[in-house]
Structure 1
Amino acid sequence: MKKLLLAATALALLSSAANAQSIRVGTEGAYAPWNFINEAGELDGYEIDLANAICEHAGIECEVVQNDWESIIPNLLSGNYDVIMAGMSITDERLETINFTQDYYPPDPSLFVATAGAEFDFDNLEGARIAVQGNTIQAAYAEENFADANEILSFATPDQTIADLAAGNVDLILADGSFLQPVVDNSGGAIVFVGPEVMIGGGVGGGVRKEDTELLATLNESLDALKADGTVNQLLAEWYGDDAPAY
């Protein structure tokens, strides 16, 4: 009987997201302006506002919870929340494990930054210490393209890459351009873009478990409506400025 009850509980957890009147959204809370902790100690950012708009349109309650990046997919699969909204790029590799909503941020060029005055030959890059956030599309790209002649340094959070660049512990950072742009803008000229743009991934979307097909449909229906009525574009402009992409 105990095994039957446990099995029934597990089945209920797996199917609850599809029919629930509320959902839990997992986010990193360390990737401004996508998601971050504001001065009031609250989760804030583009994806927080968008998650609330999606839930309002769908007529369901929305709870946003913080989870570190390294375990964000495993904890989705474990049922700790129902959807990931954490600046996560849609990739073929991730699609083997989870499904994604349609993108709510178009494909974003990955860019390099360095301290002002540093010079690099990207046609023959050798000996550079390149910082990336672990388990990202940039980490995979750097390992594939630069590991033979350079040192790839993986960090738990993107803010750590910025701190180590400022401290002189790394030479370059490779990350999403939308994350790096405000860093460069607010650095007073101390941090600058260098090198080429790199297109990786297929835009940013919300990640859901494979079995939660009804939830996926609900999220996509809401995103369709929020794109059509201008809500998504309004939020993009609010969080990414006048040069923000638009749908």
Structure 2
Amino acid sequence: MGVTTVTSSRWIALAALALTCSTPALAKDWKTVSVAMEGSYAPWNQTDPSGKIVGFEVDILNDVCARAKLECNIVAQDWDGVIPGLTAGKFDIVMDGMSITEERMKTIDFSIPYASSPVAFLADKNGPLANLSNSGKMIDLSKDDAESEAALDTLRKELTGKNVGLQVSTTEATFADKYLKDVANVHEYKTTDEHDLDLMAGRIDVAFADT
């Protein structure tokens, strides 16, 4: 498996329901907090053989909760249900490799970012897409310059007619909807594990995910 083209970095933060200053919940004396994670987004969070959710974000959460003297309980929640579950009050916080976007900030609020993660197209190192033209290079989509535009145009041409796998309701899905849906066959999955399996089985040509 090889990284072929890195696109852009994304800031990751805790997410919580956006509350106004007049909301009574702000006055709550917090002792216990429920935190949603999908448990299938390694290395951020994943489920071990015993059924326990572990990973980088669990380690961060444990440290934060100890410092804040809070009892934090992890709630397993599928990715496509984390925001609906948060707004419905099923849990207090989401900690699941979630990018800060303007669209999400219309509904929920975010903490200060605790990580920055690039996203990339991943291909079989022995496959036909192992050596894309911009392999190993960063394309910064925040820069509206000729170099980035040219790299994006090249990427679109090389992925024309190819099968691209990504997780549903992610920033990768937003990117694909904007730049790839008219040239590539985009396949959405509930988890990154699912598109990784299809990539290894040859059912998709590239996977698009965090690195």
TM-score using structure 2 length:
0.73
> Within 5 A, what are the aligned runs for 1:44-123?
44-106=54-116, 108-120=117-129, 123=154
Summarize deviations over 1:26-50 as a string: whole Å, max 9, x none.
Answer: 1110011111111222110111111
Q: Is the contact made by 1:17 and 1:23 (CA closer than 8 Å) also made in structure 2?
A: no
1:104-142 deviation per Cα after TM superposition (whole angstroms, max 9, x unaligned): 112x21111111222345612211100000000001101
Contact 1:14 1:79 in 2 (8 A): no
Counterpart amino acid of residue 154 in structure 1: E
Q: Greater strand share, 1 or 2?
A: 2
Gaps of 5+ in 2: 1-22, 134-153
Deviation at 1:20, TM superposition (A): 1.7
- Quote the residue 1:128 is aligned against: 162
Contact kept, 8 Å, 1:133 with 1:156, in 2: the verdict is: yes
Structure-2 residue corresponding to 1:162: 196
Contact 1:30 1:158 in 2 (8 A): yes
Determine which of 170, 175, 194 is the counterpart of 1:141: 175
Are the structure 2 counterparts of residues 175 and 82 from structure 1 closer, same or farther at C-alpha, using a change threshold of 3 Å? same
Partner residue, 2:35: 25
> In the aligned structure 2, how far is the partner of 1:74 from the partner of 1:17?
23
The one-character-per-residue Cα deviations of 1:176-227 (angstroms, maximum 9, x if unpaired) are: 11xxxxxxxxxxxxxxxxxxxxxxxxxxxxxxxxxxxxxxxxxxxxxxxxxx
Q: Give the structure with the higher percent helix.
A: 1
Distance 1:76 1:25 in 2: 9
What's the TM-score, normalizing by structure 1? 0.63
Q: How big is the alpha-carbon RMSD for the aligned residues of Structure 1 and Structure 2?
A: 1.8
**Residue 22 and residue 168 in structure 1: after superposition, are their counterparts in 2 closer, same or farther (change >3 A)?**
same
CA–CA distance in structure 2, aligned partners of residues 80 and 18 of structure 1: 17
2:200 and 2:31 map into 1 onto residues whose CA distance is 46
Query: Which segments of structure 1 move beyond 2 Å, counting only runs of 4 or more?
Result: 16-19, 116-122
- The alpha-carbon deviation at position 61 of structure 1 amounts to 0.8
Structure 1 17/116 Cα, relative in aligned 2: closer, same or farther at 3 Å? farther
Q: Distance in 1 between matches of 2:104 and 2:56?
A: 22
Q: Check if 1:39 corresponds to 2:56.
A: no
8 Å CA contact 1:17, 1:82 repeated in 2: no
Q: In structure 2, what residue type is equivalent to 1:114?
A: A
Evaluate the alpha carbon distance shift between residue 17 and residue 34 of structure 1 in structure 2; reply closer, same or farther with a 3 A threshold: farther
Change (3 A) 1:152 1:63: same
Q: Percent identity?
A: 34
Q: Distance in 2 between matches of 1:14 and 1:84?
A: 21
* Separation in structure 2 between the aligned mates of residue 109 and residue 164 of structure 1, nearest angstrom: 22
Q: Name the CA distance, whole Å, in 1 between partners of 2:200 and 2:168.
A: 19
Q: Unaligned stretches of 5+ in structure 1?
A: 1-12, 178-247
